[in-house]
Amino acid sequence: MLNKLKKLDWGILGILLLFMVISSVVLHSATINDPRYASSDTKQIIFYGLGFFVAIVASMFDYRIVLKSWHVLYGIGVTSLILVYFVGAKINGARGWFKITETLTIQPAEIVKIIIIIGIAYLMGRRQGDKLTFMRDLVPIGAFAALPFMLVMIQPDLGNAIIYLVIVLGMLWIGNVKYTHVLVGLGTVIASIVLFVSLFTMFNSEIKEFMIDKDLSHWYERINTYINPEEASADAKHQSLNAKIAIGSGGLSGDGYLKGDMKNGGFVPYPYSDSIFVVIGEEFGFQGAAILLLLYFLLIYRMIIVAFKCYDMKASFIVIGIVSMYVFQVFQNIGMMIGLMPITGITLPFISYGGTSLLLNMLSVGLVLSIKSHQEVYELAD
């Protein structure tokens, strides 16, 4: 056990420690005027404590045991997504949480992210680096990811569903997919986006009525604000517009800790969760945002180094899947706050408040640490 502890990537753990400090400090500012979330910073530190424990314990286990159990994990994940649709709690328009207590909830869609990564890594790893074929590889992988994708979409949770797609695409790209398949897939995606935008614009009123009838008006407003910003209502543009104003007002060095006028005035919704980057941009300015992005870069960099040094190709695929998940979540969260991406409710990894997502992220890091610690064992066993 001591030998495994020595092999841990303490640089990664050090970055996570810095994330904990940043998260708790920013959460204190984000919730100081909201009694409903007054203790979020303290709870986040507790979640981080549990998260570090989970990460270190996970690093002690041989990741290959998890890989061999991918089908069991997949069954558990799909079952939980089905159950939550019928008995789960509805939060922000989506029925995707198991409510344990008034303050404790579990979101299966978050857990399924890592299950998808493990399953696809196993399926792609069987090829041992050979080109992925359409029928033997791409079709099974697509079917594997399609079921949880559809189950999450009907909750509806667009944010996590998109993350599933990004994970699959990121892993397939590294998994040596044929260029012809890439071109066909890219053409299909572009054509689908163009068709969707065209139909959404053409049948805007009909889609609006349908979405309102299905109690999905908030999704219509988010999509319409991004596609047709000039036609969107003031309420629909409220979060995006105020977020850009707040970040812009922060300038180079920010307005100062606890002094964000937009945040303090209640003009930024969900400052503890989706919009936590706005708090950083307003109170710490470009410098604070740049430091945060630098930490993300260092975390991703160290993980990619782990992937490059793997003897086991399946392990490399796991790390790349986790990296794809983090990169997209950071890009999407910050992008939607500065107007580059539509608002989807995706939180900022390791910074936003949330027990399930934080513990999952820490578990994912623990899996990366396990992969790094067990590569020498794998080489000897080979």
Quick one: pLDDT at residue 3? 65
Q: What percent of the chain has pLDDT over 90?
A: 35
Instruction: Compute the distance between CA of residue 283 and CA of residue 260 in angstroms, rounded to an integer.
Output: 5
Q: How sure is the predictor about 382, in pLDDT bands with cuts at 50, 70 and 90?
A: very low
The larger pLDDT score, comparing residue 211 to residue 5, is at 211
Query: What length does the chain have?
Result: 382
Quick one: pLDDT at residue 373? 85
Q: How sure is the predictor about 295, in pLDDT bands with cuts at 50, 70 and 90?
A: very high
Across 230-245, average pLDDT: 71
Contact 346, 329 (CB under 8 A): yes
The larger pLDDT score, comparing residue 281 to residue 339, is at 281
Instruction: Compute the distance between CA of residue 66 and CA of residue 64 in angstroms, rounded to an integer.
Output: 5
Quick one: pLDDT at residue 234? 58
The larger pLDDT score, comparing residue 369 to residue 235, is at 369
Q: What is the DSSP string of 135-185?
A: IIIIHHHHHHHHHHHHHHHTTT-HHHHHHHHHHHHHHHHHTTB-HHHHHHH
Chain mean pLDDT for the chain: 84
Q: How sure is the predictor about 378, in pLDDT bands with cuts at 50, 70 and 90?
A: low
Burial label for 282, CB within 10 Å (0-12, 13-18, 19+), is buried
Contact 330, 336 (CB under 8 A): no
Q: Which of 57-61, 152-156, 274-278, 369-373 has the lowest mean pLDDT?
A: 152-156
Listed in sequence order, the residues at least 6 apart from 202 whose beta carbon sits closer than 8 Å to its beta carbon are none
Q: How sure is the predictor about 313, in pLDDT bands with cuts at 50, 70 and 90?
A: confident
Quick one: pLDDT at residue 380? 41
pLDDT tens profile 11-69 = 999 999 999 999 999 999 888 887 777 788 888 999 999 999 999 999 988 888 888 88
Instruction: Return the SS3 of 91.
Output: strand
Q: How sure is the predictor about 198, in pLDDT bands with cuts at 50, 70 and 90?
A: confident
Contact 331, 180 (CB under 8 A): no
Quick one: pLDDT at residue 27? 93
pLDDT tens profile 110-143 = 889 999 999 999 988 877 666 777 778 788 888 8
